[in-house]
Amino acid sequence: MSENLFGELSEVIIAGDDTTAAAITQKLLDAEEPAKKILDEGLMPGMNVVGKRFRENIIFVPEVLVSARAMKASMSLLEPILSASNIKETGTIVLGTVKGDIHDIGKNIVGMMMKGAGFKVIDLGINVPPEKFVETARKEQPDIIGLSALLTTTMGGMKTVIEQVRNADLDVKILVGGAPITHEFTEQIGADGFAKNATDAVDRARELIDAQKETS
Amino acid sequence: MNKIITKHVPIEELSLKVKTVNKYLQIKQNSDVYDDLHRMIFDLYSKYKPEFTPVYQYRILAVKSVHDDGVKVILGNQVRFTGIGIHRLLAKSKYAALFVATIGSDIDPIITELQRSDLLAGYCLEGIASALVTSLLDQLKQELEKAATNQSCELSYRYAPGYAHWDLKEQSNLFSALQPEQIDVHLTDAFFVVPRNSLTGVYGFNEKTT
- Is residue B210's pLDDT more than 70? no
- Nearest-Cα distance to chain A for B34, in Å, is 9
- Is residue B173's pLDDT more than 90? yes
Q: Which residues contact B94 (CB under 8 A, 6 or more apart)?
A: B62, B63, B151, B153, B205, B206, B207
Residue among A95, A105, A107, A110 with most chain B CBs within 10 A, to mutate: A105
- Using alpha carbons, select from A181, A163, A170, A195 the residue that is nearest to residue A54: A195
Secondary element (H or E) of residue B85: helix B84-90
How many contacts (CB atoms, under 8 Å) link A and B? 69
Q: What is the DSSP string of A46-81?
A: HHHHHHHHHHTTSS-HHHHHHHHHHHHHHHHHHHHH
Q: Which residues contact A129 (CB under 8 A, 6 or more apart)?
A: A99
Please, are residues A134 and A168 in contact by the beta-carbon 8 Å criterion? yes
Q: At how many degrees (to 10) do helices B18-25 and B34-48 cross? A: 110
pTM for the full predicted model: 0.88
Q: What is the DSSP letter of A87?
A: P
What pLDDT score was predicted for residue A195? 94
- Is residue B208's pLDDT more than 90? no
A105, A108, A151 member nearest B190 (Cβ): A151
Residue among B30, B31, B192, B193 with most chain A CBs within 10 A, to mutate: B192
Secondary element (H or E) of residue A119: strand A119-123
- Is residue B147's pLDDT more than 70? yes
* Chain A CB within 8 Å of residue B112 CB: yes
- Nearest-Cα distance to chain B for A172, in Å, is 26
Please, are residues B116 and B122 in contact by the beta-carbon 8 Å criterion? yes
End-to-end CA gap in chain A? 41
Q: Residue A181 and residue A154: Cα distance in Å, rounded?
A: 11
Residue A15 with chain B: CB contacts under 8 Å: 32
Share of chain B above pLDDT 70, in %: 100
Q: At how many degrees (to 10) do helices A61-84 and A105-116 cross? A: 50
- Nearest-Cα distance to chain A for B42, in Å, is 15
What pLDDT score was predicted for residue B137? 97
pLDDT digits (tens, 9 = 90+) for B29-84: 999 999 999 999 999 999 999 999 999 999 999 999 888 888 899 998 889 999 99
Residue B190 with chain A: CB contacts under 8 Å: 100-101, 151, 153-154
Residue among A13, A67, A108 with most chain B CBs within 10 A, to mutate: A108
- Phi first, then psi: give them for residue B192, nearest 5 degrees: -80, 145
Interface of A with B (CB under 8 A): 15-16, 59-63, 65-66, 68-69, 100-105, 108-109, 112, 151-154
What pLDDT score was predicted for residue B19? 94
What pLDDT score was predicted for residue B2? 85
Across chain B, mean pLDDT equals: 94
* Chain A CB within 8 Å of residue B194 CB: yes
What pLDDT score was predicted for residue A85? 81
pLDDT digits (tens, 9 = 90+) for B100-143: 999 999 999 999 999 888 999 999 999 999 999 999 999 999 99
- Using alpha carbons, select from A130, A95, A114 the residue that is nearest to residue A205: A114
Residue A214: CB atoms within 10 A of its CB come to 7
pLDDT < 50 stretches in chain A:
none
What pLDDT score was predicted for residue A93? 97
Q: Residue B27 and residue B21: Cα distance in Å, rounded?
A: 8
Residue among A11, A101, A102, A122 with most chain B CBs within 10 A, to mutate: A102
Beta strands in B48-131 (DSSP E): 55-66, 72-75, 79-82, 93-102
List of long-range contacts for B12-17, beta carbons under 8 Å, 24+ apart: B13/B139, B14/B52, B14/B54, B14/B132, B14/B135, B14/B136, B14/B139, B15/B135, B16/B45, B16/B128, B16/B131, B16/B132, B16/B135, B17/B131, B17/B134, B17/B135
What pLDDT score was predicted for residue A4? 92
> Per the CB < 8 Å rule, is B191 touching A153?
yes
A61, A63, A100 member nearest B188 (Cβ): A100
* 3 state DSSP class of B5: strand
CA torsion through residues A213, A198, A51, B121, sign = positive
Please, are residues A103 and A126 in contact by the beta-carbon 8 Å criterion? yes
Instruction: List the single residue in A with minimal CA-CA distance to B122.
Output: A105
What pLDDT score was predicted for residue A87? 75
Query: A116 or B172: whose pLDDT is higher?
Result: B172
Beta strands in B1-107 (DSSP E): 4-8, 55-66, 72-75, 79-82, 93-102
Q: Residue A50 and residue A54: Cα distance in Å, rounded?
A: 6
> Per the CB < 8 Å rule, is A153 touching B190?
yes
- Using alpha carbons, select from B192, B187, B48, B31 the residue that is nearest to residue A152: B192
A63, A68, A153 member nearest B119 (Cβ): A68
